[in-house]
Amino acid sequence: MRVLIIGASHAGAQVCANLRQDGWTGEILGIGDEPVLPYHRPPLSKAYLAGKTTLDEQLIRPAAYYEKHDITFRVAHVDSIDREAHTVTLSDGEQVSYDKLVLCLGARPRSLPRAGAELAGVHYLRDAADTEAIRDELHAKGLHASGRVTIIGAGYIGLEAAASLRQLGVEVTVLESAERVLQRVTAPELSEFYTRVHREEGVDLRTGVAISGIEGDEHVRGVRLADGELVPADLVIIGIGIVPNVELAEAAGLAVENGVVIDDHGQTSAPDIFAAGDCASHYLARYGRQIRLESVPSAGEQAKAVGARICDKEKEIKALPWFWSDQYELKLQIAGLNDGYDSIVLRGDPAAGRSFACFYFKQGQMISADCVNHPKEFVFARRVIGDQLAVDPEKLADPENSLNDLLRAAQAERA
């Protein structure tokens, strides 16, 4: 009996571990595109980009773990899946059989549809090779002290990269087409906070700008804006979102809806095929819709459910989604999803200092929280949202009121 895992990712590594923990005694074979064991990806735009850690230090588990548990990884690319034959075909024509198949296909950077995006010196940031290419160019051209990097996109990847590069002494410009940074995922107050912080750190951060193209000869020299201005750049990083890798699943006839559709156990629409991670789309009853989460904790939760189901054990995907982002000395911790919020409560002042919490409410119920250097508020929010407790917004807004007291009061009201 063989479990075949396509994708040497966070989800893929966790499926391997849980299969053994849950009693799978058959073969476990992972196939990935990169010539390295599964590694932590969040540091790619943070500590790894800043040169503060090595790739070996970022391995999710050391090679000895996989050897001890008889888990094998191969470097190859899967071209197709034959559901009836229970085989996959690799790019070299080899066919590999499976009894259970797990798709941990991940996602790829969204391409910038502008002229010049293919020039040397233009980079995306998704895997270790991307980060290493950026670091190598910074070093080779001596850009640490006098270089100019332009980042297109002010989402989390773009802002994290900007913070890391500023800490290296690089001159950074961030260009965002939306009217504010993180516009899709945060309240205006949080956007204004991060805009202020990045500008205080020396980033030339511009919002509401349109890009007409990237210019250069053999190598990039600048980004042309729609108003005619050329923003000089020795290096460009594009971070405008990601696209789930679903083509393999679509070609195999699996249900796809902004990701490979899975149930509460990670099962796809086909027998013996499962999915987890950035490529997977799951119905979250708490939020009443199908959602694809780009989150390491969610990938791990899905992978654990997959491992359990393959081993005929029960574990549902039901943990509250959570995320994080590190920029400068700031740790943003996010609990839940703020979809459809109708009001917010601030605990602390985002316009002054560098720590506060923003709680999102919908019809009087807390549904999400963004906590900047406020770990206690993050833990509090996960508890309140997870247990669907009712808290007094006015009391929550006052930092003098104890979170423990607020939690006890909410629990007493529930009882």
Biggest distance spanned by C-alpha atoms of the chain: 69
The pLDDT value recorded for residue 248 is: 98
pLDDT band at 286 (very low <50, low <70, confident <90, very high): confident
Fold for the domain defined by 122-238: FAD/NAD(P)-binding domain (3.50.50)
CA distances from residue 92 to 25, 75, 196, 249, 320 in whole angstroms, order as listed: 29, 12, 51, 19, 41
Q: d(Cα 141, Cα 358) in Å, to the nearest integer?
A: 41
pLDDT > 90? residue 141 = no
> Cβ distance 332 to 349 under 8 Å?
no
Of the chain, the percentage scoring pLDDT greater than 70 comes to: 100
Nearest residue to 237 (alpha-carbon basis) of 112, 140, 129, 128? 112
pLDDT of residue 113: 95
Task: Evaluate whether 2-108+243-310 and 122-238 have a shared fold.
Answer: yes
Query: What would the pLDDT profile of 248-271 be if each residue is shown by its tens digit?
Result: 999 999 999 999 999 999 999 999
Task: Write out pLDDT tens, residues 357-390.
Answer: 999 999 999 999 999 999 999 999 999 999 999 9
**Mean pLDDT across 280-307:** 95
Output the pLDDT for position 121: 96
2-108+243-310 is classed in which CATH architecture? Answer: 3-Layer(bba) Sandwich (3.50)
User: Percentage of the chain surpassing pLDDT 90?
Assistant: 93
Distances (CA, A) of 173 to 48, 73, 200, 335, 360: 20, 40, 13, 30, 31
Domain 329-414, CATH class in plain words: alpha beta
- Domain locations in the chain as residue ranges: 2-108+243-310, 122-238, 329-414
Mean pLDDT computed over 96-102: 98
State how far the Cα of 304 lies from the Cα of 265, in Å rounded to an integer: 9
Indicate yes or no: pTM above 0.85. Answer: yes
Summarised one tens digit per residue, pLDDT across range 190-244 is 999 999 999 999 999 999 999 999 999 989 999 999 999 999 999 999 999 999 9
Distance CA 263, CA 209 (A): 40
